[in-house]
Amino acid sequence: MLLAATIYSLEDINKFNDSGLDIFILGNKDFGNRLVSSFSEEEIKEAKLLIHSLNKQIYINVNLIMHNEQIESVTNYLTFLKEIDVDGIIYGDIGIYMLAKNIGINKLMIYNPETLNTNSYDQTFWANKEILGIVISKEITIEDIIKISENKTILTGIVGHGYLNMFHSRRPLIKNFLTFNDVESEPFIDNHNLTLVEEIRDEKYPVIEDNQGTHIFRDKPMHSFSEFDKLKQAIDIFIIDGIFKDSDYLNDVIKDYYLCNKKDKVKLKDKLVKKYETDHDTGFLYKKTVYDKY
């Protein structure tokens, strides 16, 4: 199984490579949601050259919800990614798949609509569309993940560590709220230190507003150390999302999963579970959602 992670800067590439990372995920704020950092085209070019020199892979997040007036700019960006020869493009909007198909890069595309890949036929459908892979929904159990992956015919990944997004609106909700209350909004945009607290709950939910709208996350990041042996037998790509954390934290996490990927030791897993269990949980791996896709 390959380890993939979002990165904060070009300086992270050598550091994370030494820690065992296989796939580096980058994005640009005009074309990606919930990024840890925004990389310019020149920075992406530089990153691609360095990552390929290390014999590793580079994936680009193009997971915006595209509006009609963005079709031309997204097409130009996809053409740029084709020209510099990236290894994968993560998307969630089917319109972006159609643009990619039109320019002949559908085989680079990885479909991650966040909540919709919940059955084995999703794999079959997208395999017939000749894309690179899919990311299974983050809101289904490990039992379902393993079952879906039994007869996979396409690269299959999961987000296995990090904060999970649970709400997205294209509306600038933070800006609208602050403007209504006569508060200057600029310091609060792209601010990763904000939390939302409900009156009837104690949890603090991280919330950000970026170029693509407003996003609310679960109160705790997830980890998958106890489940890692089962997952690595079932899936191809294990994604670590570093949003709301920093480079040092992410480097430690990559090292820990790299050890899990190379060794099968119960004591190691127990040690890592204890390390993270106080401020992490297992997400939806054991929580059957009450919401179904119809």
Question: How confident is the model at residue 290, as a pLDDT?
Answer: 62
Question: How confident is the model at residue 277, as a pLDDT?
Answer: 87
Give the highest mean pLDDT range of 139-153, 234-248, 279-293: 234-248
Q: What is the mean pLDDT of the chain?
A: 93
Question: How confident is the model at residue 202, as a pLDDT?
Answer: 84
> Environment class of residue 189 by beta-carbon count within 10 Å: exposed (0-12), middle (13-18) or buried (19+)?
middle
Question: How confident is the model at residue 261, as a pLDDT?
Answer: 82
Does position 178 have pLDDT exceeding 70, yes or no? yes
Distance of CA 251 to the CA centre of its chain: 16
| Sign of the CA dihedral with 80 first, then 81, 84, and 85 last | negative
Q: Pick from 174, 205, 193, 189: which is nearest to 244 by CA?
A: 193
Confidence at 292, pLDDT banded by 50, 70, 90:
low
Question: How confident is the model at residue 151, as a pLDDT?
Answer: 84
Structure tokens at 216: 């609310």
HSE-up (13 A, CA, CB side) for residue 25? 26
Task: Determine the Cα–Cα distance for residues 256 and 254; give it in Å rounded to an integer.
Answer: 5
Instruction: Tell me the Cα Rg of the chain.
Output: 19
Measured between its terminal Cα atoms, the distance across the chain in Å is 31
Does position 51 have pLDDT exceeding 80, yes or no? yes
Question: How confident is the model at residue 176, as a pLDDT?
Answer: 95
* Domains recognised in the chain with CATH numbers: 2-162+220-276 (3.20.20.70), 165-217 (no CATH)
Task: Determine the Cα–Cα distance for residues 237 and 231; give it in Å rounded to an integer.
Answer: 10
Does position 62 have pLDDT exceeding 70, yes or no? yes
**Tens digit of each residue's pLDDT (9 = 90 or more) over 211-252:** 899 999 999 999 999 999 999 999 999 999 999 999 999 999
For 6, phi then psi, to 5°, come to -70, 150
| CB 227 within 8 Å of CB 215 | no
Q: Pick from 96, 102, 103, 106: which is nearest to 130 by CA?
A: 106
Question: How confident is the model at residue 130, as a pLDDT?
Answer: 95
Question: How confident is the model at residue 225, as a pLDDT?
Answer: 93
7-11, 21-25, 150-154, 244-248: range with lowest mean pLDDT? 150-154
> Environment class of residue 257 by beta-carbon count within 10 Å: exposed (0-12), middle (13-18) or buried (19+)?
buried
Arithmetic mean of pLDDT, 273-286: 91
Which 3-state string (H, E, C) describes 15-75? HHHHHCCCEEEEECCCCCCCCCCCCCHHHHHHHHHHHHHCCCEEEEECCCCCCHHHHHHHH
| CB 239 within 8 Å of CB 24 | no
Calculate what percentage of the chain has a pLDDT beyond 90.
84
DSSP-derived 3-state class of residue 277: coil
| CB 58 within 8 Å of CB 74 | no
Confidence at 268, pLDDT banded by 50, 70, 90:
confident
Confidence at 264, pLDDT banded by 50, 70, 90:
low
